[in-house]
Amino acid sequence: MTRDEIQKKVTDVLVDALGVDEEDVTPDASLTGKLGAESIDFLDIVFRLEKSFGVKIPQGELFPDNALSDPRYVQDGKLTADGLALLKERLPHVDTSSFAADPRLEKVAESFTVKSLVDFMERKLQPA
Amino acid sequence: MRWMWIDTIVAYEPDRRLVAIKNVSLAEEHLHQHFAEGPDGPAQPVMPGSLMMEGMAQTAGILVGSVRRFAEKVILAKIQKAQIDADVTPGQCIRYDASIERIDGMGASTVGTIERLDHRSGQWERIGSTEIMFSHVDQNMSGLAFPDHNFVFSDSFRNILRSSGLGHLMA
């Protein structure tokens, strides 16, 4: 599958899951910022990506979900050093540089963009 | 108040499907404040679509809860799709048929169909469909605190399970 085909499928998933217009789904659009995603939408997006691409996405592989309620990784609404290291390791599809400088949780959520979803799916679909 | 919008469970396939029935009766107060004008005559009371969604959410929610023996607090998180194409009037029966599409530690996605039975014809007719997502709320707390006891599956739900012959699922 080409990157354009992946981009198209990801766009369709986001249009359905978030009720946004297709033209708003640009590569740099943040899921929580520009596209208005709330926490439960992340679960919806994972389920829809699985269905659309015919793959399994284990819990925590795309979004860090419950790691962010673990006090080892998050304290006072900010990522700890361990939390930052964990996300860097677990989320290679996300640009962590923005929240390395500002580790507030909302920055972590904002760092998930359309491009990071496309990168994730492209990596996921590569033959092992 | 008994906020139960299903009367009984009529089919259960473990971890996969659950079907519940709701009989609509003129004795229900809310019907006397909710009318729709029909094509052939004056307005008549009809079952509100919002309460049909609640009935489907209860049906699908019990199914999702049953997968983990009601250990999780299963909360309606998102109605992804809701379509109801026809009214249900007193004397008719509603059937909610829910299936799990996907479930994991965080929550579940379900699909459902809504049917109505008109006793004069004896025929079931499909009148709607749903896609509803549930959260296992203890796994998605985002820093919020919830009570320890399972406030979702209250005595009312437990009574329906028992009277439907599914009390063993709560063990």
The answer to the question of residue B97 being in a domain is: yes
- B100 neighbourhood in chain A, CB within 8 Å: none
pLDDT at A63: 82
Helix (H) or strand (E) holding B128: strand B123-136
Same domain, A55 and A118: yes
Element (H, E) at B165: none
- What pLDDT score does B152 carry? 77
A72-80: long-range contacts, CB 8 A cutoff, minimum separation 24: A74/A105, A77/A104, A77/A105, A77/B143, A78/A103, A78/A104, A78/A105, A79/A103, A79/A104, A79/A105, A79/A108
> In this structure, are A106 and A119 located in the same domain?
no
Q: Does residue B131 belong to any structural domain of this protein?
A: yes
State the CATH number of the domain containing residue A124: 1.10.1200.10
Please report the pLDDT score of residue B117 as a whole number.
97
Q: Give the range of the structural domain holding residue B51, as residue numbers without chain letter.
A: 8-155
Kindly tell me if the per-residue pLDDT of A92 is higher than 90.
Answer: no
- Is B164 within 8 Å of B7 (Cβ atoms)? no
Q: Are residues A15 and A45 in the same domain?
A: yes
Indicate if A35 and A87 belong to the same structural domain. no
Residues A127 and A95 reside in one and the same domain: no
- In SS3 terms, chain A reads as CCHHHHHHHHHHHHHHHHCCCHHHCCCCCECCCCCCCCHHHHHHHHHHHHHHHCCCCCCCCCCCHHHHHCCCCEECCEECHHHHHHHHHHCCCCCCHHHHHCCEHHHHHHCCEHHHHHHHHHHHHCCC
| pLDDT (0 to 100) of residue B154 | 80
The whole-number pLDDT of residue B41 equals: 75
The C-alpha of A48 sits at a distance from chain B's nearest C-alpha, in angstroms, of 10
Same-domain check for residues A8 and A45: yes
A48 and A13 both lie in a single domain: yes
Residue A12 touches partner B, C-beta closer than 8 Å: no
Residues A113, A117, A122, A128, CA torsion sign: positive
Interface of B with A in 62-91 (CB under 8 A): 77-78, 80
The domain of A51 spans: 1-59+113-128
Together in a domain, A3 and A40 = yes
Report residue A20's pLDDT band, with 50, 70 and 90 as the boundaries.
very high
| A107 and A126 share one domain | no
Confidence class of residue A116 from pLDDT cuts 50, 70 and 90?
very high
Q: Is the ipTM of this complex over 0.85?
A: no
**pLDDT average, residue stretch A28-49:** 90
Å between B132 CA and nearest CA of chain A: 10
d(CA A99, CA A111): 8
User: Domain total for chain A?
Assistant: 2
Q: Which residue from B minimizes the CA distance to A56?
A: B102
Average pLDDT rounded to a whole number, residues B44-56: 95
H/E stretch holding B100 = strand B93-103
What positions of B carry a catalytic annotation? 34
Quickly state the pLDDT bin for A9 (edges 50, 70, 90).
very high
| Per-residue model confidence (pLDDT) at position A11 | 97
Question: What is the pLDDT averaged over residues B24-40?
Answer: 85
Q: Residues B87-124: pLDDT tens digits?
A: 999 999 999 999 999 998 889 999 999 999 999 999 99
Provide, as residue numbers in chain B, all residues whose Cβ is less than 8 Å from the Cβ of A79: none
Residue A30 and residue A54 in one domain: yes
Query: Which pLDDT score, from 0 to 100, does residue B100 have?
Result: 97
* Cross-chain residue pair B78–A41, CB shorter than 8 Å: yes
Could you give the number of structural domains in chain B? Answer: 1
Distance CA B83, CA A74 (A): 41
Looking at the fold, whether A1 and A55 belong to one and the same domain comes out as yes
Give the chain B residue whose CA is nearest to the CA of A57: B104
- CATH number of the domain at B88, please: 3.10.129.10
* pLDDT given at position B141: 54
Q: A59 and chain B: CB distance < 8 Å anywhere?
A: yes
Q: CA–CA separation, A81 vs B160, rounded Å?
A: 49
What is the model's pLDDT at position B48? 95
- Once rounded to an integer, what is the mean pLDDT over residues B152-158? 83
Judgement on whether residues A105 and A75 belong to the same structural domain of the protein: yes
